[in-house]
Structure 1
């Protein structure tokens, strides 16, 4: 399959202002003001790449359908798991962008089941008016374009907070192996700009600070930026290439080693949630509304949903 360029659609403006979080885990993580602070609705702690989809679409639709208030907060998936593990956050629902990471970090103390409900793929977003962007638009091999990039011209999210960040590094490693590019991963790791706020990853393209960013397809769709699609062998979007993705690995600053996996989102209701019934209702809503997720750039095919562990009867659609 050949890479191709194109434009993708934009989503509506968010109804809530997304703020930078302070303290604890830190600068760069993002959340929604007032979230996770009350119990008369459902409280969701989710992967940052879902922020726009959930704030602009899923959350309001769930409120309309259920009569419950939706409260969402969004961080890199590594950070999401850490916030739950150390007791900093007490959500009803936890959602990650790396299915195995949620199981490794939350089972058995905080969860014993999860539901995979949507998929995604890694793309290269770019500003067409830049030198790098024009080369990508012209169809030049993306890895040759990246190799010629100046320091900080390309943005990735923080690999120690977020699977999108380490998938960018794994992408570089897979390209190095496939094309005999000695030292390509290390060279790229040394010159990319690392953005701690995943939902803000593409802001640099819009304000002229960056030429390219390694992003998820839905994020590019929400921001209406130009994209260069990657071959399925690189984009972490095709389960048929799972063995190939797994050839690359990354060890976080915390010493946790992850292998490349397809981008699959999974959700669970925390074992000691304050509002478990509301949590189950929200997860069921996700499973029953694949078309809504697809409207916001996520992929929901016939293989989804998939379950791990023993979900409550109320969860199964």
Structure 2
């Protein structure tokens, strides 16, 4: 297998809602030297990777048109590949706002695969709900809502290009310790020592993305030194990971509920790293769970 610097064959799983730009991304990856395989049934993917060593990184296009597609099946496949020491799997999720997807379908007059006889908006909503667990597992997330095909190709080149300078994709995660530590974190910081906004009745309904919560945390004298030292540590170690050939680094921030402290710190650290020139994606696990649950309840009310 090809050495990626992480001890295994690089396998990039490319997915996201229909119309988000998957075909454009696969063509861009092919231009970057990836072996491209689109819509291969899940059952055949392990067999493909069990075969002879591959001389190039592999990009697998996956969407709801895959013959045996299911969110649970894809998560099971990701877990299976992760357990193989000779494989270095990554999930790239192409995100896009629903209204933009609707506009793209109306412009092309295509039928949505989940609603071939209905409005594309119905299929888009169903597909976004179906893919929510996959989005929550993605190492890299690119929002294509405002990107032209040319811009998207350039973005893929910045993320996955192999030109002279090795690339490192950084994902910053927030999570609740009550729900367990996310799998795949390379570094983890505990934020539970900070003053908890949960005990402020006005701040309790908000989350760490709120300016009010951020200002409240800034009043804790330990907050700024903690942020500064974490930032300095990361800016020191990230270039070393690039030198070692690592392609992805996952950094986690945890607190009790995963709503206030860890979210606020993750948001701030992501800004620091982006300002320093690193490609950064953010993941707020508990907020995403909450949003998915609210969407399910809304769907149930409509039914």
Normalising TM by the smaller chain, what interval?
under 0.3
Structure ranking higher in helix proportion: 2
TM normalised by structure 1 equals 0.25
- TM score, norm. by length of structure 2: 0.26
Q: Say which structure, 1 or 2, has more relative contact order (CA 8 Å, 6+ apart).
A: 1
Q: Which has the larger radius of gyration?
A: 2
Structure with the higher fraction of residues in strand conformation:
1
